[in-house]
Amino acid sequence: MSEDPSSHNKSWFEKITHVFAHHEPKSRQDLLEFLYEAHANKLLDTDALTIVESAIQIADLQVRDIMLSRSQMVSIKITQPLLEFLPVIIKTAHSRYPVLEEDNETIAGILLVKDLLPYLLKLASEQEPEFDIRSLLRPATYVPESKRVNVLLREFRATHNHMAIIVDEYGGVAGLVTIEDVLEQIVGDIEDEHDIEEESYIRPQPNGDFVVKAQTPIHVFNHYFPENRYSEEFGKTIGELVLHHFGYLPKRNETKVIGAFTYRVLTADSRRLHLLRLTPSKIIE
């Protein structure tokens, strides 16, 4: 059969849709194998394959796997005056901040930095504005740490929210997650000039685990865990180190004890590891 001359002008999505019309996958594994075959036949380029595969795999992730833990949250206290928390905003350069009530446990709401602009203009003109932070707060969205990441993404899109507060099984604040955190699971890192290496690569979890990106450089890992230092003999990233100890490319949920941690694969594709969960070995024993 001769090739359709218009096929060169079709997008990869159109090509895949056309093929699906003749071969409907019966399971997720069937779908993934079909995508690998499409990649081998050059219907999908590598970037497209990775994005589609990652989009499928986020259904296996829970919010607790990607959230920023409470200990790493940058928050503002409801009692802080404008001039006191402005340096924090300038230093961290986020667009949204959770605001804590006086008990330091309850979230009063979310402050969007853009809502401060009128007050900053008055400050710039050497006026001291009357400031009531509570009047600026947007309602906080709460989700359980067990919620599936793909469900959260749907909710973000439906509500146009960009941040959610994560609560644990007792209703306490466990951390937060942003739409950027979710999208990074699909398209990879979305880093800017304000990202800090250790905070970007390694996230401690409330139960004592750590979620670590596979591309974390060994020297960054060693700086974060000085008592569990690794050499670069087997690679320059944690992902390369884990691959060496497995001896093959592991699949999701496979585990391996390396040094003081048990490593569990959270996400991976057909070419590389993406996200790992580290549990101190003494906790497992």
Domain boundaries, the chain: 10-60, 62-186, 196-285
**Which class would CATH give 62-186?**
alpha beta
Average pLDDT, stretch 122-139?
A: 82
pLDDT of residue 241: 93
Please determine, for residue 109, whether its predicted confidence score (pLDDT) is greater than 90: yes
Per-residue pLDDT for 152 more than 90?
yes
pLDDT tens per residue, range 12-34: 556 556 555 556 666 777 777 77
pLDDT of residue 283: 45
Residue 172 has pLDDT above 70, yes or no: yes
The pLDDT of residue 232 is: 84
Fold for 196-285, please state it: 3.30.465
- 185 vs 197, higher pLDDT: 185
Which of 47-61, 201-215, 251-265 has the lowest average pLDDT? Answer: 47-61
Tell me, yes or no, if the pTM score tops 0.85. Answer: no
* Whole-number pLDDT of residue 253: 83
> What proportion of the chain, given as a percentage, has pLDDT over 70?
82
Q: Across 15-19, 196-200, 268-272, which has the greatest mean pLDDT?
A: 268-272
- What single string gives the DSSP state of each residue in 71-113? GG---EETT--HHHHHHHHHHH--SEEEEE-TTSSSEEEEEEG
Burial string for 82-121 (b: 16+ CB within 10 Å, else e) reads: eeebbeebeeeeeeebbbbeeeeeebbbbbbeeebeebee
The highest-confidence range among 55-59, 135-139, 208-212, by mean pLDDT, is 135-139
Asked if residue 236 has pLDDT above 90, the reply is no
d(C-alpha 138, C-alpha 108), whole Å: 9
